[in-house]
Structure 1
Amino acid sequence: MGEALALASALCFGVTHFVNGLVARRSDGITVALHAQLAGTAVAVAAAFASSSGGGAAGDYWFGALSGIGTGVGTAFLYRAMGQGQMSVVVPVSDVGAVALPVLAGVALLGERPAAVAWAGIAVAVPALWLVAQAGGPGTGRHGAGPAGPVTAGVPAALAASAGFGVQFLAMAQVGADGGLWPVVVSRVASVAVIAAVLALYRSPVTLPGRLTAVAGAGGAVGTMAILLYLAATRHQLMAVATVLSALYPAVPVLLALAFLRERLTRRQTAGLVCATAAVSLIALR
């Protein structure tokens, strides 16, 4: 059950990043992140009112807020990165901290002990992420640029996003089983506040064209579904395992770009997707 929830979370994360990555190519990425999280907040509020679960303890709300800070940093800088560089590069780069921080914290601080077969799956996921991140040859970047330009332009922002997503996963996993969904609402509100601050720092515009606002909002709604699924997964599975499975989302934008944008996979990216499949299988066996 936990594995299925985490993989569904990965699918939703991948879809939202693909959709909003496309919007970020036509408008400011930080502005896209703001509108996505505003819509995601509305979905979280509706889900919380519809849920019959309890309100949770004070600590659940603090962890929700901390997770939201990570979400705000992650989405703001990821969409900024996708406006600068190749989607197939910056999305997997943003995944490094998302995997490393929660897994290391789970093992070092929370006493989690994944089985040997799950460790093997986690180990396979590392080269999978690296391989999927490999850019194609010359001419595959934006505006006809080779791989060096897009990687250099997008990677610093993607690394900042990486740290944010790591905090997002780590903190959300600490929300108790009786915490209900209101900590997720707090998380979404905190993410909006952080993105608003980043938007002011970079003097990004506040508004998007009407059609792009709707698309970004739809992507943000799917993103909230992703975090809700991840939260449910952590209540059925070790955080280290749930995080690695959820963090396989970079494979989704690659496959969607292949299907809808007519992009071509390199041999390394294909090998990375094979490794990702093997990682899922091994972790599921645990």
Structure 2
Amino acid sequence: MLTVILGLSGALVFGSGDFLGGMASKRMGAFLATGIAGIVGLFVLVGLTFVIPGQISSGTIWWGLLSGVAGALAILLLYAALAIGPMSILSPLGALISAIFPVIWAIVVSHETLAWFGYLALGLGAIAIVLVAFTPEKNAVKPRLRGIIFASVSGLLIGVFLIIMDQVPADSGLYPLVYNRFVNIGIMFSAVAIMALLRWAHRKGLFGRDGTARADLAVGDAGSVDFKNGILFALGCGVLDSIGNALLLLGIQSGNLSVMSVLTAMYPAGTIILAAIVLREKITKLQLVGMVLALAAAGLLALS
């Protein structure tokens, strides 16, 4: 039961953080917004270590740093996939793979077992992920091979992140996430610096339009940058993302990796709910069905 509560709570927090992260990215560029959110999250996680203490060991440091690499690369590829589009296909594809891969790992490698209805719940959860994340676009185009590859690899890397979190020592507390943030921040701001350099080079006539497009993703378009509101959204994103990661790690430590991976992949529900409340975006019937299936899956997992 505790694992289910932590998993669903983490998914809602992650989804809310993604909503704020998306709002920040529109105003100041995706990579810069993510980097600022990472710094804020680092301070939040350091503060949480006083509430949830742990032991720092070589395993804590190693798995924390490795998870930072996997997490940062997953985010970079996810942004690249969504930029290629269509989001309505690539987003649920990545979420589904991020859930299925850890489940296969947990059952085949870690030999986790569930009651028969637990496996039924995992299947319902997978369907719920697709329905919740699926938002049909008008005149949606067929996904390009590069977009499918980026989304798939991103989902795999998110799954790898979950598997790594399952390897951290039980007494490490939240310290692995602190080391995760150091790596994540380093990679993100390195990307921002590289993209800004490419943009500068383009202005000097050294590169083509591709450099400009990628630079805008990193630092925003000078004509639409709104750093004041962007920073506020990024701050909120950093707080929620760090709390979501803390709930994720605690959930994995208290229960099964397979259960947490499926529950955490339901994060689009949090984004959709906030978008409906704040931006008054319409929730489709398919998404409502997906949310009902998600709750049913969570109930079955709690009983298993």
TM-score by structure 1 length?
A: 0.85
Please, what is the CA RMSD of the aligned residues? 2.6
Query: Residue 163 of structure 2 corresponds to which residue in structure 1?
Result: 170
> Is the contact made by 1:82 and 1:154 (CA closer than 8 Å) also made in structure 2?
yes
Query: Comparing 207-216 with 19-28, which one deviates more in the overlay?
Result: 207-216
Question: Cα distance 1:22–1:52, how it changes in 2: closer, same or farther (>3 A)?
Answer: closer
1:34 equivalent to 2:35? Answer: yes
Query: Residue 95 of structure 2 corresponds to which residue in structure 1?
Result: 95
Measure, in 1, the Cα distance between the counterparts of 2:293 and 2:271: 16
Question: Cα distance 1:85–1:40, how it changes in 2: closer, same or farther (>3 A)?
Answer: farther
Tell me the SS of whatever aligns to 2:254: coil
Measure, in 1, the Cα distance between the counterparts of 2:247 and 2:52: 17
Offset, 1:216: 0.7
Offset, 1:133: 3.1
Aligned length: 277
Show CA shifts across 1:154-206 (max 9, x none).
Answer: 76654443233212211112112211222211011111123234435544445
Query: Residue 114 of structure 1 corresponds to which residue in structure 2?
Result: 114
Query: Residue 274 of structure 2 corresponds to which residue in structure 1?
Result: 256
Query: Residue 68 of structure 1 corresponds to which residue in structure 2?
Result: 68
> Is the contact made by 1:41 and 1:185 (CA closer than 8 Å) also made in structure 2?
yes
Query: Residue 125 of structure 1 corresponds to which residue in structure 2?
Result: 125
Query: Residue 13 of structure 1 corresponds to which residue in structure 2?
Result: 14
Show CA shifts across 1:31-86 (max 9, x none).
Answer: 221111121112112222x1463324312221111211122123334455566757
**Aligned amino acid, residue 11 of structure 1:** L
Show CA shifts across 1:104-147 (max 9, x none).
Answer: 11112112112222111100111212222333352xxxxxxx33
TM-score by structure 2 length?
A: 0.80
Query: Comparing 8-17 with 187-196, which one deviates more in the overlay?
Result: 187-196
Measure, in 2, the Cα distance between the counterparts of 1:86 and 1:223: 25
Structure 2 unaligned spans of 5+: 197-214
Tell me the SS of whatever aligns to 2:28: coil
Larger Rg over CA atoms: 2
1:234 to 249, 252, 257: 252
Once the two structures are aligned, what percentage of the paired residues are identical?
A: 28
2:173 to 170, 180, 186: 180
Question: Cα distance 1:44–1:247, how it changes in 2: closer, same or farther (>3 A)?
Answer: same
Measure, in 1, the Cα distance between the counterparts of 2:116 and 2:70: 30
Question: Cα distance 1:154–1:262, how it changes in 2: closer, same or farther (>3 A)?
Answer: farther
Measure, in 2, the Cα distance between the counterparts of 1:26 and 1:212: 5
**Aligned amino acid, residue 119 of structure 1:** Y
> Is the contact made by 1:132 and 1:272 (CA closer than 8 Å) also made in structure 2?
yes
Query: Residue 209 of structure 2 corresponds to which residue in structure 1?
Result: none
Measure, in 1, the Cα distance between the counterparts of 2:253 and 2:27: 38
Measure, in 1, the Cα distance between the counterparts of 2:85 and 2:26: 9
1:192 to 174, 185, 199: 185
Structure 1 unaligned spans of 5+: 139-145
1:245-284 map, 5 Å: 245-284=263-302
Measure, in 2, the Cα distance between the counterparts of 1:21 and 1:78: 13
Measure, in 1, the Cα distance between the counterparts of 2:186 and 2:271: 27
Measure, in 1, the Cα distance between the counterparts of 2:24 and 2:147: 16
**Aligned amino acid, residue 17 of structure 2:** T
Query: Residue 141 of structure 1 corresponds to which residue in structure 2?
Result: none
1:58 equivalent to 2:58? Answer: yes
**Aligned amino acid, residue 10 of structure 1:** A
Measure, in 1, the Cα distance between the counterparts of 2:100 and 2:54: 31
Offset, 1:101: 2.2
Measure, in 1, the Cα distance between the counterparts of 2:97 and 2:128: 15
**Aligned amino acid, residue 174 of structure 1:** Q
Query: Residue 241 of structure 2 corresponds to which residue in structure 1?
Result: 223
Question: Cα distance 1:162–1:201, how it changes in 2: closer, same or farther (>3 A)?
Answer: farther
